[in-house]
Amino acid sequence: MALTYQEALAFIHSRRHGGPDLNRMRTVLDRLGAPDRRVPFVHVAGTNGKGSVCAFIASVLEKSGLKTGLFTSPYVRRFNERIRVNGMDIPDNALAEVTARVRAALGEFEAQVAEFELVTLIGLTYFAQESCAIAVLEVGMGGVHDATNVIEKSEVSVFTAIGLDHTQYLGNTVEEIAAVKAGIIKPHGTAVSAGDPGGVLSARCRALDAAFTPVELASLRVRARSPEGVTFDFDGLEGLEIPLAGSYQPANAALAITALRALRRRGWNVPDAAIRAGLKAVSWPGRFELLRRDPDFILDGGHNPPAVEATVKSLADLWPGKRAAFVLGVMADKDVAGILERILPVAERFYCVAPPAPRALAAEELAAMIAQRGGRAEAMPSVAAAVGKALAETPPEGIVCALGSLYILEEARQALVQLTGA
C-alpha cells in the first residue's frame, strides 16, 4: 500500500521504543532481497563523537568518488537527515516509497518492530536501492544487540571514545560497556579505535582473528583554532582544515583518517587529496556550531558528562577565562549531577528548558538542582523564550551556549533566526 511522506513518518514514529530482534530483522531483509548484502559498510560505535566521525568518513569517501550512504541518529533539523546519500537527505517521496516497501515486508512482525529497528531497515534498503558503493552506519546505542549489527560483515569497525552512558542498558563500568560495543567487530575484520578500556576491544579482535589499530594521537598537532574551525597536522598530513570548532574534533578527525587508511589497506581508493578535501567540506550541525557573533552563540549537542566536559574545554580554549550563559535542557535519565558538575565552573547563569521529548527533565527541576549547587538558574517556558532572554541579558562580548540535548538545538536555531535574522 502506497504511503504519503506524512503517513510514512507517522508509521515510523508509532512504533515502540526498545531493542530490536536481529533474527526478525534478518527475515525481513531477506524478504526485501537482502539489501544489506549488496553494500559494504563502515560501522561506527562508541559513546561520544560517533556522528562527527561518521560525517568525516562519509565526506572523504564522497570526495574519493564513491557513492556514499550515511546513517546517523538522532536528527537535529529534520528526520530525513538520518539517511543520506552523497550528502543529500533521503527525499520525501523516496522515504515514503521505501517505508511502504519495508512495511509490506514486515508482515506478521509489524506490531512488534521497534522504531530504530524500522529506520535501520529503511536505511539499508535505500542504500542498496541507490547502488551505494559504501555506506557509513552509526550504531544507535550499544553494539552487539544494536539494530545496525544485523549486517553480517563490515569493511572497518570504528570505535570512538567509550565512557559511562546508558549504564542501565550497557553496564556499570567502561569495560562492561566496551564489551557490549565490541559486538560489532566481525570475524577476520578490521577495527580502529580511539581507546581500549581494559584491553577489551583488542582481546575481542584476537578472538576473532581481526586486525586492531589504535589511533596514534601522539602525531596530532593543532596549529590554529578559532570559532570557525581548526587547522591541524596528523600522521604525515600537514595543514588539514576542518570547519568544526570543538576542541574534540581534531581527535575525531584523526580517528576518521585512521579508519580511512584502514580502508585503503583493504583495497579502497582513498587518496590523501580526498582526505584533505573531505575534511574541509564536512558539515555536521549542532556540534559546537557557531551561529552568530556579538554575542557569540553556540549550539552543541553534548548530553552526558564526557561530552559536556569536551564542550567546556572548547569554550575555555576559544574564550579563555570567560563565563557563558547556558540555555540548558537535559533528559531525566542522564547523569544530570555529573553534567552540572562540569558546567557550573564556567557558567554565568542558566536558562533552563525541558527538551521536547518524553524523557525530558522538567525545567523547574533542573533549575532547582542548579540553585542547590550555588548556580543562577531560571526555568523558562520554552526554548524560544530562553534564547530570547539569554540574548537580551548577554552583552555583545559575551557567550551563549545552547546545550544538553540534541532535541533542543533546532528550536534554538529557529528562535535565533526569528529574533536576529542570524
Mean pLDDT (whole number) for 346-359 = 92
Looking at the fold, whether 300 and 251 belong to one and the same domain comes out as no
Please check whether residues 82 and 99 belong to one and the same domain. yes
Among 18-27, 157-166, 268-277, the range scoring the smallest mean pLDDT is: 157-166
In this structure, what CATH number is given to the domain that contains residue 191? 3.40.1190.10
User: CA nearest 142: which of 179, 173, 174, 180?
Assistant: 180
CA gap 136, 55 in Å, rounded: 9
pLDDT over 90, % of the chain: 78
Instruction: Report residue 415's pLDDT band, with 50, 70 and 90 as the boundaries.
Output: very high
pLDDT of residue 162: 78
Same domain (yes/no): 201, 315: no
Is the per-residue pLDDT at 13 higher than 60? yes
pLDDT in tens, 71-130: 998 888 899 999 999 999 999 999 999 999 999 999 999 999 999 999 999 999 999 999
pLDDT on residue 198: 84
Q: Mean of the pLDDT values across residues 319-348?
A: 94
* Calpha distance 389→379 (Å, rounded): 11
- Is pLDDT at 147 greater than 80 in this prediction? yes
* Domain encompassing residue 109: 5-281
Q: What is the pLDDT of residue 48?
A: 81
Segment 203-225 mean pLDDT: 95
Torsions phi, psi of 34, nearest 5? 50, 60
State whether 274 and 293 are in the same domain.
Answer: no
Residue 51 burial (C-beta neighbours within 10 Å; 0-12, 13-18, 19+): buried
**pTM greater than 0.85:** yes
Q: Cell 580502529 belongs to which residue?
A: 192
Question: Are residue 150 and residue 265 in the same domain, yes or no?
Answer: yes
Question: What average pLDDT does the segment 57-67 reach?
Answer: 98
pLDDT tier, 171 (very low <50, low <70, confident <90, very high otherwise): low
User: Is the predicted pLDDT of residue 421 greater than 90, yes or no?
Assistant: no
**What percentage of the chain has pLDDT greater than the value 70?**
97
304 lies in the same domain as 276:
no
Angle, to 10 degrees, between the axis of helix 115-129 and the axis of helix 92-106? 110
Average pLDDT, the chain: 93
Report d(CA 198, CA 385) in Å as an integer. 46
Domain count of the fold of the chain: 2
Which residues 6+ apart lie within 8 Å of 189 measured at CB? Answer: 153, 154, 155, 156, 157, 208, 210, 211
Paired with 213 in beta bridges are 192
pLDDT over 70 (residue 167): no
Average pLDDT of the residues in 233-261:
96
Nearby residues of 313 by Cβ (< 8 Å), 6 or more positions away: 247, 248
Provide the grid cell at 262: 584502514
Whether residue 404 is predicted with pLDDT greater than 90 in this model: the reply is no
pLDDT on residue 122: 98
| Residue pointed to by grid coordinates 562580548 | 397
Q: Three cell numbers at 364?
A: 523547574
Residue 383 has pLDDT above 90, yes or no: yes
Cα separation, 223 vs 45, whole angstroms = 28
Where are the strands (E) in 97-187, listed by range? 134-138, 156-159
Q: What is the CATH number of the domain that holds 297?
A: 3.90.190.20
Domain boundary among 281, 316, 341: 281
Together in a domain, 294 and 263: no
Helix (H, G, I), strand (E, B) or coil at 258: helix
Among 361, 358, 187, residue whose Cα is nearest residue 350 = 361
> What residues form DSSP beta bridges with 77?
none
Local confidence band at 422 (pLDDT 50, 70, 90 cut-offs): low
Burial of 16 from C-beta contacts in 10 A (0-12 / 13-18 / 19+):
exposed
Judge whether residue 239 has pLDDT over 60. Answer: yes
User: Of 281, 302, 327, which closes a domain?
Assistant: 281
pLDDT tens track for 19-53: 889 999 999 999 999 999 999 999 999 888 899 99
Do 275 and 145 fall into the same domain? yes
Q: Check whether residue 277 and residue 300 sit in a common domain.
A: no
Asked whether residue 164 carries a pLDDT value surpassing 60, the answer given is no
Q: Which of 281, 300, 325 is the last residue of a domain?
A: 281
Residues 242 and 383 in one domain: no
Dump pLDDT digits (tens) for 256-266: 999 999 999 99
